[in-house]
């Protein structure tokens, strides 16, 4: 097998294992989709710096892309990732109202009745004992940023440190939702992107019962779409 075929096979295998589509990888590498397609089909062989870029994206060695992978190498490659749980719905079990003394924040414990799958994340993500989980988008409320059936990787984080996309649980809902949170002077705005009569922005003002009832479970760090 020549070097071009080895690269194509290795790249496709890694993309499939990590469930990363061509479009996602192109966006992650900040390259045109057509360029990545040329690499995947063998029309163009990427330069060394681009191979390094791909390796950095997947947190693998360059040799994992350009050298033929044996069965033993394949097992070692995928040992270098961490599995996390994926949920069809995100809700909390009955311990969520327990308070952690050191932080004053609720103890997060997810309801495993809705676990449906596992996903892979790079091992360095958990070096500071950080926790992650996956959540399936079950509606179109966050189009065009996130689509129905996307798997969103959530970093457990109950503090809104900046505007962005978060997994939140509101008082009138049994299940968490993905929303864009925006800091305003006197509170937080919780926004869907696909606004309609049944899906409206909400404002939670500080020092109100509603504000205290809003629970931030974590922030979105990655989206994984169905492999195409």
Question: Do residues 69 and 151 both lie within one domain?
Answer: no
* Tokens, residue 28: 């992650």
Q: Which residues pair with 133 in a beta bridge?
A: 154
CB 93 within 8 A of CB 116: no
DSSP of 101-140, one letter per residue?
Answer: TTT-PBPP-B-GGGEEEEEEE-GGGGTT---EEEEE--SS
CATH number assigned to the domain comprising residue 156: 2.10.109.10
- CB atoms < 10 A from the CB of 68, how many? 11
Domain that holds residue 27: 3-79
Domain boundary among 21, 44, 79: 79
- Report the pLDDT value the prediction gives residue 228, as an integer from 0 to 100: 40
Question: Do residues 13 and 46 both lie within one domain?
Answer: yes
Q: How many domains does the chain have?
A: 2
Question: Do residues 168 and 123 both lie within one domain?
Answer: yes
Question: Do residues 136 and 172 both lie within one domain?
Answer: yes
Burial of 87 (0-12, 13-18, 19+ CB in 10 A): buried
- Report the pLDDT value the prediction gives residue 95, as an integer from 0 to 100: 42
Question: Do residues 218 and 148 both lie within one domain?
Answer: yes
Question: Do residues 186 and 92 both lie within one domain?
Answer: yes
Instruction: Specify the DSSP class assigned to residue 70.
Output: P
Question: Do residues 17 and 87 both lie within one domain?
Answer: no
Question: Do residues 134 and 117 both lie within one domain?
Answer: yes
Question: Do residues 148 and 211 both lie within one domain?
Answer: yes
CATH number assigned to the domain comprising residue 23: 1.10.260.40
CA distance 191 to 179: 5
Helix (H, G, I), strand (E, B) or coil at 152: strand
Question: Do residues 207 and 103 both lie within one domain?
Answer: yes
* Tokens, residue 169: 């649980």
- Report the pLDDT value the prediction gives residue 80, as an integer from 0 to 100: 61
- Give the pairing type, strands 115-121 and 82-87: antiparallel
Domain boundary among 31, 56, 79: 79
Domain boundary among 28, 48, 79: 79
- Report the pLDDT value the prediction gives residue 220, as an integer from 0 to 100: 93
**Exposed e or buried b per residue across 102-112, where buried means at least 16 C-beta atoms within 10 angstroms of its C-beta:** eeeebebebbe
Q: Which of 108, 112, 11, 2 is nearest to 54 (CA)?
A: 11
pLDDT tens digits for the chain (228 residues)?
Answer: 677 888 888 898 888 877 888 888 888 889 999 999 889 888 888 888 888 889 888 878 888 888 876 555 444 444 567 888 899 988 766 544 444 444 445 556 677 678 888 888 887 787 667 889 999 998 999 998 999 999 999 998 888 888 999 999 887 888 889 999 999 988 999 999 988 878 899 999 988 988 888 889 899 999 887 644
Question: Do residues 67 and 133 both lie within one domain?
Answer: no
- Report the pLDDT value the prediction gives residue 99, as an integer from 0 to 100: 40
Indicate if the alpha-carbon torsion angle 92, 94, 96, 97 is positive or negative.
positive
Question: Do residues 115 and 201 both lie within one domain?
Answer: yes
């Amino acid at each position: 097998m020549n070097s071009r075929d080895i690269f194509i096979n290795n790249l496709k295998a890694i993309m499939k294992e990590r469930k990363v589509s061509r479009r996602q990888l192109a966006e992650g590498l900040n390259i045109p989709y057509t360029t990545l397609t040329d690499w995947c089909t063998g029309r163009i062989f990427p330069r060394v710096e681009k191979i390094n870029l791909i390796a950095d994206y997947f947190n693998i060695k360059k040799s994992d892309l350009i050298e033929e992978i044996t069965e033993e190498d394949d097992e070692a490659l995928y040992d270098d990732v961490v599995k996390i749980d994926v949920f069809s719905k995100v809700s909390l079990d009955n311990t969520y109202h327990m308070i952690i003394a050191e932080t004053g924040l609720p103890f997060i414990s997810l309801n495993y009745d809705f676990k449906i799958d596992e996903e892979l994340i790079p091992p360095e993500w958990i070096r500071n004992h950080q926790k992650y989980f996956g959540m399936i988008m079950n509606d179109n409320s966050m189009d065009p940023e996130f689509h129905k059936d996307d798997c969103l990787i959530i970093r457990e984080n109950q503090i809104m440190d900046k505007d962005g996309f978060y997994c939140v649980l509101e008082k009138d809902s049994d299940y968490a939702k993905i929303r864009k949170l925006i800091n305003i002077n006197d509170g937080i705005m919780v926004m869907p992107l696909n606004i309609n009569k049944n899906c409206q922005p909400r404002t939670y003002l500080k020092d109100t019962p509603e504000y205290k009832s809003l629970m931030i479970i974590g922030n979105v760090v990655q989206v994984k779409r169905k492999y195409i």
